[in-house]
Structure 1
Amino acid sequence: MPSTALSLFLPCFSRRRPGAFSTACRLLLTALLLAGLAGCSTFGNSNNQQKPPPEPDLSELAHQAAQQMIASNPDLTRYSPMIAATFVSIDNLSQSSTFGRISSEIMASALAQQGMQVREVKMRDSMFIEESVGELILSRQVQRLTAQHNARSILMGTYAQGQDYLYVSTRVVRSGDAMVLGSADFRVKLDNNMRSLLEGQGGW
């Protein structure tokens, strides 16, 4: 107990005073007890600070994106069955990576859990972006595949690598006219795990 507080308490125990614990002494004792409890609480909180929760991983973000697509267009599942194209790098639309392939697979799985019927098709050279106008162009091979598998929609996506995050843009387009039926964007923390997925660059 600090010397100042002790000096305040000494008169309460003095034999010269008939009422050792007067009302003033009781109030002083209560105040000191409350101050002590507050100090203990502060000390406990400083030692038990909770760490921030980890950022969601690719699977969690893909499922959230699928939910967002369905919420924004509940009729999206009517455009089943759907086939999925590998996601490509926004910097080189003819190149993909392990990340582009697995993110497409996970996104297709997430949409399937939301009620979308997904046909398993390994697509090659399935689409490209005409950079001059930014319009989505479907190749003849995609038209052939959609007709062959009776697909009414196609899952497509692009990704861009930043300093700390990977930015992913995904959409479901109608196979007949490339009309966007649903879209979602998310970012993934660029850690060592994601960097290793990006290292597997290659064609479709």
Structure 2
Amino acid sequence: MGKITARFILGMAVIVLGLSGCALERPPAGGAVSIVTPDFFGIGEDIALQLAKNLRRPLGSEKRLIMTTMVNIDDLYQTSRFGRTLTESLATRMFNHGFGVVDVRKTSELLIRDDKGEFMLSRDAQLIAREHDAEAVVAGTYSLTPNSVIINVRMFDAGTQDVLSVAGLELQRSNNINDLLAASNGMSDAALSAYER
């Protein structure tokens, strides 16, 4: 009976070891993610992990962040359901990783752009950050290619505008992503409302 038990245990160990090699792995950070049905919480998780890992200096004990809506890189005043959905999933994941997420979507304007199309925090954003005791602002853009969506996210110091962390990801386009990008007039994006700025 001892030989049968030993063979059984050895056989089970081989099966368990063999099956553990079949575990799904996440794509490397910053790589292309091929998804038929986008898992926005998984995408948000990858971006949140990159932001936490790439943080240049530790934030205070509460790590309070203001999240802004992801915008189209070609027009920093344009977003889509894709940008809003991605922002919501990223906010959820940042919260899950211990960051304090401040919801200030009812403010009139958090970001402005200069003549070169670059992000700049407005003075209003700095005041809002102070009012809510937030240390940083998370802002991001997405770029559309025929086959993918390129996402870049930055975490800025709310007072100095120094970049504290960055994250990037390229997603393969799918029908679901295209639906989220589409506005009522086809594949164009929608203007940011005052609620989202």
TM-score between both structures, scaled by the size of structure 1: 0.66
Native 8 Å contact 1:77 1:115 kept in 2: no
TM-superposition CA deviations, 1:34-78 (whole Å, max 9, x none): xxxxxxxxxxxxxxxxxxx98353321221121122122274443
* Cα distance in structure 1, aligned partners of 2:182 and 2:145: 15
* Cα distance in structure 2, aligned partners of 1:192 and 1:118: 31
Native 8 Å contact 2:95 2:101 kept in 1: yes
* Cα distance in structure 1, aligned partners of 2:137 and 2:146: 30
1:60 aligns with 2:42: yes
Question: How far apart are residue 129 of structure 1 and its match?
Answer: 3.4
Matching residue of 1:110: 93
Matching residue of 1:46: none
Matching residue of 1:167: 150
Native 8 Å contact 2:150 2:168 kept in 1: yes
Letter in 2 for 1:193: N
Question: How far apart are residue 175 of structure 1 and its match?
Answer: 0.2
Count of residues in Structure 1 that have an aligned counterpart in Structure 2: 151
Native 8 Å contact 2:56 2:165 kept in 1: no
Matching residue of 1:177: 160
SS in structure 1 of the partner of residue 181 of structure 2: helix
SS in structure 1 of the partner of residue 78 of structure 2: coil
Matching residue of 2:125: 142
Matching residue of 1:127: 111
* Cα distance in structure 1, aligned partners of 2:108 and 2:180: 19
Instruction: Choose 164-173 or 189-198, whichever is displaced more.
Output: 189-198
Letter in 1 for 2:109: D
* Cα distance in structure 1, aligned partners of 2:93 and 2:81: 18
Instruction: Choose 176-185 or 123-132, whichever is displaced more.
Output: 123-132
Q: 1:203 to 1:135 in 2, by over 3 A?
A: closer
Q: Which has the larger share of helix?
A: 1
Letter in 2 for 1:55: S
Q: Which has the higher contact order (CA 8 A, sep 6+)?
A: 2
Matching residue of 1:26: none
SS in structure 2 of the partner of residue 158 of structure 1: strand
1:101 aligns with 2:98: no
